[in-house]
Chains A and B, each alone.
Chain A
Amino acid sequence: MTDPVSLAVCPRCGRPLDGPAAHDACRAALELEPPRFCGDCGRRMKVQVVPTGWTATCVEHGIQTS
């Protein structure tokens, strides 16, 4: 996965990481959820979960896998 430090957007809730919202709960939730939003542009990604992993695709920024 992309280094979280470089992300602009929260991959769980899609809101800016430097905005007023806290993302501690999002970070905790991501232990048991794949990312839903592209961390670079905030687009909703196409996410496929399979028993042993997941793949998330942003039309602009490509594919991430678990």
Chain B
Amino acid sequence: MATENTDVLDRAREQVLERGIGLDEAGVLEILRLPDERVTEALELAHEVRMRWCGPEVEVEGIVSLKTGGCPEDCHFCSQSGLFSSPVRSVWLDIPSLVEAAKQTAATGASEFCIVAAVRGPDAKLMSQMREGVKAIKEAVDINVAASLGMLSQEQVDELVEMGVHRYNHNLETCRTYFPNVVTTHSWEERWGTLKMVRDSGMEVCCGGIIGMGETLEQRAEFAVQLAELDPHEVPLNFLNPRPGTPFGDQPTMDPKDALRAIAAFRLALPKTILRYAGGREITLGDLGTRDGLLGGVNAVIVGNYLTTLGRPASADLQLLQELKMPVKALSATL
């Protein structure tokens, strides 16, 4: 390769910042291996890339669990699997409470509300709750509705489009080669299949995963370029929050510097994607981490609580956005 001797950040400046072309796997790996003293430089470049190709707006989203726990799958990080001795019990949210959660999310200025269910894929009951719930939200609240309901059939994809679900989240969770260490009850390829159907339907694709589950740096780089190949509208980036009772319950949280390297690396692989701070940022990076990420390539946040754990109060994130002079993306800009 002719670029062998050039510095990866110089190369990224020319290729990613100037031309909007993401780094390849080798380049991403170089970012993930940068020494501590160059992490700030990488984050600054990632921030420039984000400002250049995405702009200063930050997309704010709230998420809620419509059906919690009791999932038949065995994703080793997940407290909602019914196969582990996790303390999370199965529970359904009723429709009035779902609408109330959407209202409260909208009140923060968020443009996105994502309805999530802990399932392999939707059954008739879940689809009917979705139909009723999405309709009730649309009648009561001005907010984009997204969903995350596991693997879908073509028929279910079509139904969600018809309900007015504008974006569908389905995480690949990790790279293809590490996936069998994380999930054994379904395959990476099955997830990819759902993502392809979603993309072909015209819904926006939201697809990310969890970093710090024991994957190697090579596999982390592999994951970033596999996401780039999918080219999703949004990539939610989670950091492992080890949950009691799960197979990954005793894993350490990620080293904060590694988490920041990952943020810069994913932005440099995905210059034009909405890169969202999702779960685990508080426990991995603390309060200051949110600022570092937003100045290092991240341009979207989940505000308030997550599905089974709690987050920073929405007001803390909104105040930070004000301080950073980053406007919250308005609903009208996303419709």
Contact = CB atoms under 8 A, between A and B. Distances in A.
A49 B89 contact: no
Nearest to B105: A51
A50 B64 contact: yes
A19 interface: no
B194 interface: no
Given A32-B310, A54-B310, A49 B305 contact: yes
A51 B88 contact: no
Contact of B307 (A12, A14, A46, A49): A49
The size bracket of the interface on A is 20 to 34
Contacts of B104: 50-52
Contacts of A65: none
Interface in A18-66: 31-34, 36-37, 44-54
B39 to A, nearest CB: 25
A7 interface: no
B305 A51 contact: yes
Contacts of B91: 46-48
B46 to A, nearest CB: 26
A17 interface: no
Given A32-B283, A32-B310, A52 B87 contact: no
A36 B88 contact: yes
B35 to A, nearest CB: 31
B105 A32 contact: no
A37 B62 CA distance: 26
A49 B308 contact: yes
A45 B69 CA distance: 12
Q: Which 5 A-B pairs have the closest CB atoms?
A: A51-B304, A36-B87, A51-B62, A50-B101, A46-B91
Interface of B: 62-65, 68, 87-89, 91, 93, 97, 100-101, 104-105, 108, 244, 282-283, 303-311, 314
A42 to B, nearest CB: 11
Given A32-B310, A51-B104, A52-B314, A46 B89 contact: yes
Nearest to A35: B87
A48 B309 contact: no
A13 interface: yes
Contacts of A12: 244
Given A48-B93, A49-B65, A50-B101, A34 B310 contact: yes
A48 B97 contact: yes
Contacts of B100: 50
A46 B65 CA distance: 13
A14 B244 CA distance: 12
A66 B160 CA distance: 33
Contacts of A45: 89
B305 A52 contact: yes
A32 B104 CA distance: 20
A47 B68 CA distance: 9
Given A13-B244, A52-B104, A52-B305, A47 B88 contact: yes
